[in-house]
Structure 1
Amino acid sequence: MKLNFMSSRASASGDRKFGMFAGVFTPTVLTILGAIMYLRTGWVVGNAGLGGAIAIILLAHIITVSTGLAVSSVATNTRVGAGGAFAIISQSLGLEVGGSVGIPLFLAQCISVALYVLAFTEAWLRIFPNHPDGLVAILTFVLVFAIVYISAQFTSRTQFIILFIVGFSLFAILLASFPIEGRPGLTETPVFWGEFQDANFWQTFAVFFPAVTGIMVGISLSGSLREPRRDIPIGTMSAIGVTMVIYLSLAYWLARAAPMDVLRENTTILVDKAFYDWAILAGMLGATFSSALGSLVAAPRVIQALALYDILPFSDRLSRESGDG
């Protein structure tokens, strides 16, 4: 009884401002199309071959599709409040289990912000190697914090801009497929099954799999979605489908763009082969920056949801929400 009451309270907190595209699809796509896509997909293809890379991508997406279907099933059959995964687990398994997951989830999202800031810093230093890494990391975090502090809606608008940048980087890759302006286009004959010289199949899979684990980011704004029962399933599953097609297409493109040994040794092969090299660098920066934004938006919402269920000390203070969300 208490769970249902508190669920209603959690659902009522704050305005429901986001639709499926802004609240679920965009952050999920931007998290999945992250640094691994730009820096490690070529290595996966070079190590596993085209067929091995396709097998790894499909296996990873089978896992995420199963997770997405499970989340969608719960979301469509229960009232989903604030807190994302915590809210869904609490509705399914009870507050005891939900609370034991919610606190580590909050800590994981906080740590993720730091990791994404470091990834952004590393990408930045590839462009400007003389810049001090500590200062770049601090300024990046300050900028991420400032954007999130303004409002969740402003953060969402920022992610729309980043989505356009990432989309343009994919367009720059597509343009390089054709013999334009003296470029040879795709001339290599794909190797179907690689020799796994750097790592075996499962080690290669372990390197790639974190790329597709960003589906939980899409439900972090569950308390601010207009129709969470509809938005979470449609947004999550469509994001998984779109990104799977992108990864499969990119694997084929890479197998046709360069020899296997070059793909293994050159982690910036996309920068070298794309029609606009700066577009790949911008996409890489945008993807890591957006992931930091998503984690920093999600983390306080988990704490707020835990407080709404009176799980934490000082719940009255922690459950408050600013006027701008």
Structure 2
Amino acid sequence: RYARYTSILLQSQGSEEKGACSWFRHNEILCHSLYDFPGVFPGSLRHAKAGMTLATLNKRCELQNLTSCLLPQEELDIRPKVSSLLGKLVNYTNLTQGVKEHEEAESTDGSKKKVSKSPSMGTLMGVYLPCMQNIFGVILFLRLTWMVGMAGVLQSFLIVLLCCCCTMLTTISMSAIATNGVVPAGGSYFMISRSLGPEFGGAVGLCFYLGTTFAGAMYILGAIEILLTYIVPQAAIFHPSGAHDASSAMLNNMRVYGTVFLILMAVVVFVGVKYVNKFASLFLACVVISILSIYAGAIKSIFDPPEFPICMLGNRTLSRDQFDVCAKTIVKDNITVASKLWELFCHSTNLTTENCDEYFLMNNVSEIAGIPGAASGILKDNLWSNYMEKGEILEKAHHPSVDVAGQKNNLHLYVLSDIATSFMVLVGIFFPSVTGIMAGSNRSGDLKDAQKSIPVGTILAIVTTSLVYFSCVLLFGACIEGVVLRDKYGDAVNKNLVVGTLSWPSPWVIVIGSFFSTCGAGLQSLTGAPRLLQAIAKDNIIPFLWVRTC
């Protein structure tokens, strides 16, 4: 509006004082605007009332240089190619920036110009749902149960609260910028750089780029873990050969498969970005269905808990991938013979105790319910933290056990803790699950009312996801046995996904849904990060990213 007024004033600069004053009196809207904004127009009607003529106003304002103090759009001669950047970096679905621009480049000729459509997306489709999809991720399905088992329900509440408060404060700051002026198209980087200056925008944009890049790596590793641990364990290239080689084997598998996944995703993003954009609704449906199956399974566990027996030797949790029958002996043809468990601990097929593990001889083998259900009262046992050191055996408190002095043997038969845990370690592991709040602001060009939709949609998405996290922490602590919660890779439940054991109607709902949602989030990260770096480079802020523009 002010740019239009300025052009009118420039056209009238050469007019005579009488004609100019007559024109000035018949433009009441402009007069009121000049009266209301004396800081922008030094010669406002406040000065005109003091006896200044229009010619004096024109001299005072120096209308030739007035364009430098109005709008960011008028800085074309000062900052290079701002309007072209705002036009190129259009919206994206979920985490990406510039997807629509790339999609149009793939589907149309460079010589043909498409008629630009007016922004028409509302708060729900433009901000709320994309933020929901980006916030929910691999941590919810793979690590939240483990976090509850280690930190307990109370400290898990505190971890979720701290992380959600951090993102809420960031959202409030972003909302202050979004509601304080015109929200430009091109995402949060342009909103910050055009409001606070390119230097602030470059600093924040680089952090945003690095965060998006590392998020893509996290999603790829999560997809590999789901694939090799729960979907196709036979596809693993490296296998553990001892008690402490499991993590090394998984790390080597992630290196190989991570490289393959990264190349495949890069090819998909390079060739068909528009297809990534079109499948966003499918990825969102996977996330929603997976979360609903968790709630359905928790409700079902009240009346009919699922059968997931956990084999215990004394108070120690045994890994079920090497034996089937949880007993020391079995009856075969009316003859008591040694079970597979006896063979593993005694290294003999006969019922001899010469080479048996002492702890195995002194303690009984028993089975407990892995998911006793919400009505079992297991919540009181899961309220408190149970942090562990690396290599420590998962033990159930208050379970009958006879301690044996000396070194622990046959560690590969037990479920072990793979890392040392503490409160701050769990905060660092959980925090990526609350990020993704910029998905709405990155669609600013497609929003009908960005000043209203960005704050409302983003805050509602954070509140919704926070409630889901709080409720999941409570449900996991109330339904699942503590040793199962602390079992990160599901060794005690036949390599099943722990949260999948609770879900209804089938654990495969969680496994398949989390795999596709994780792959989709990785594709979105790989789509958005390069375009964000390109936008920073075009502003010529960072020396080693300077580019030459025509």
Q: TM-score range by the shorter chain?
A: 0.7 to 0.9
In structure 1, what residue type is equivalent to 2:434?
A: V
Say if 2:217 is the partner of 1:114.
Answer: yes
Residue deviations 1:105-163 (CA, integer Å, cap 9, x gap):
334433432332232122111211233654575356535652675345x4343121111
In structure 2, what residue type is equivalent to 1:206?
A: G
Could you tell me how far 1:314 is from its partner in structure 2?
3.5
In structure 1, what residue type is equivalent to 2:425?
A: Q
Higher alpha-carbon Rg: 2
- Normalised by the length of structure 2, the TM-score is 0.51
Could you tell me how far 1:273 is from its partner in structure 2?
2.0
Counterpart position of 1:72:
175
Q: Report if the CA contact (8 A) 1:78-1:91 is conserved.
A: no
Counterpart position of 1:237:
459
Counterpart position of 1:96:
199
1:273/1:266 CA distance change after superposition, 3 Å: farther
Q: Report if the CA contact (8 A) 2:269-2:526 is conserved.
A: no
SS in 2 for 1:249: helix
Match for residue 263 of structure 1 among 485, 495, 500: 485
Counterpart position of 1:279:
509
In structure 2, what residue type is equivalent to 1:34?
A: G
In structure 2, what residue type is equivalent to 1:265?
A: D
Q: Which runs of 5+ in 1 are unaligned?
A: 318-325
Q: Which runs of 5+ in 2 are unaligned?
A: 1-67, 77-81, 91-115, 238-252, 307-371, 389-420, 490-496
Residue deviations 1:157-186 (CA, integer Å, cap 9, x gap):
312111111111122212222256663642
Counterpart position of 1:150:
272
Match for residue 210 of structure 1 among 416, 432, 444: 432
SS in 1 for 2:375: coil
In structure 1, what residue type is equivalent to 2:528?
A: A
Q: Percent identity?
A: 29
| Deviating more after overlay: 279-288 vs 8-17 | 8-17
In structure 1, what residue type is equivalent to 2:510?
A: I
Counterpart position of 2:105:
none
How far, CA to CA, are the matches of 1:182 and 1:240 in structure 2? 32
1:310/1:230 CA distance change after superposition, 3 Å: farther
Q: Report if the CA contact (8 A) 2:131-2:438 is conserved.
A: yes
Counterpart position of 1:219:
441
| Deviating more after overlay: 232-241 vs 297-306 | 297-306
What does 1:9-20 correspond to in 2, within 5 Å? 9-13=84-88, 14=90, 16=119, 19-20=122-123
Could you tell me how far 1:65 is from its partner in structure 2?
1.0
Q: Which has the higher contact order (CA 8 A, sep 6+)?
A: 1
Q: Report if the CA contact (8 A) 2:273-2:527 is conserved.
A: no
Could you tell me how far 1:226 is from its partner in structure 2?
4.3
Counterpart position of 1:129:
233
1:24/1:300 CA distance change after superposition, 3 Å: farther
Residue deviations 1:192-232 (CA, integer Å, cap 9, x gap):
64134233333332222221122134433334444432332
Q: Report if the CA contact (8 A) 2:131-2:440 is conserved.
A: yes
How far, CA to CA, are the matches of 2:186 and 2:261 in structure 1? 28
In structure 2, what residue type is equivalent to 1:75?
A: A
SS in 2 for 1:78: coil
How far, CA to CA, are the matches of 1:237 and 1:301 in structure 2? 26
Say if 2:391 is the partner of 1:161.
Answer: no
- Normalised by the length of structure 1, the TM-score is 0.83
In structure 2, what residue type is equivalent to 1:186?
A: A
Q: Which has the higher helix share?
A: 1
| Deviating more after overlay: 201-210 vs 237-246 | 201-210
Could you tell me how far 1:248 is from its partner in structure 2?
0.9
Match for residue 105 of structure 1 among 208, 213, 219: 208
SS in 2 for 1:220: helix
How far, CA to CA, are the matches of 2:214 and 2:426 in structure 1? 24
How far, CA to CA, are the matches of 1:115 and 1:254 in structure 2? 24
| Deviating more after overlay: 184-193 vs 139-148 | 139-148
Match for residue 520 of structure 2 among 275, 286, 290: 290
Match for residue 195 of structure 1 among 385, 393, 400: 385
Match for residue 294 of structure 2 among 169, 173, 176: 173
Counterpart position of 1:321:
none
How far, CA to CA, are the matches of 1:182 and 1:101 in structure 2? 48
RMSD: 3.0
In structure 1, what residue type is equivalent to 2:182?
A: R
1:65/1:12 CA distance change after superposition, 3 Å: same
